[in-house]
Structure 1
Amino acid sequence: MAVTTAVAGALCAGAAGVGTGVAAATMAPMPPPGPTVTAPPSWAPPKPADPMWAMGNAQVWDAGWNHWGVWVNGTFIPTF
């Protein structure tokens, strides 16, 4: 009978949440902002050669990440 009472007590305590930690939610990381296309600053590296895969799209300077890149089908691809 003592074993039955101990098991029943342990099950009730577990169901009541005794001994559990506090749950807390954290915010998901925010995605990085999109590129900020501006004129390159004086300290920027020279513009690299246009890649063959750019399909004629011009390279632009991204002031947010400080590198060169190409817009292809609405997606900014860094070329550094």
Structure 2
Amino acid sequence: MNDPRMHSLVDAFVADLREIVRQATLEQLALLLAARSRASAAPQALQVAPLREARRAVRAPRKRQVVPVAAPESRPGA
């Protein structure tokens, strides 16, 4: 762990993770944790992929969910 390149990679990883946590919603964090737990059984090189997916999900613009509401006269019993 005395390799400066490894320190640089770890520092970049921690910075990315902090940014993800800063911007993420609780649902996104739950998805990230689930992805990390699934990746823990994978080889070390493959464990970065779930973080990349989570980073994209956090940075992606959120779509607002529009729920249509029926007009009062079209509701039953109105």
Please tell me whether Structure 1 or Structure 2 has the larger radius of gyration of its CA atoms.
1
Instruction: Identify, as 1 or 2, the structure richer in helix.
Output: 2
Identify the TM-score tier after normalising by the shorter chain: under 0.3
Higher strand fraction (1 or 2): 1
Q: Which has the higher contact order (CA 8 A, sep 6+)?
A: 2
TM-score, structure 2 as length reference = 0.26
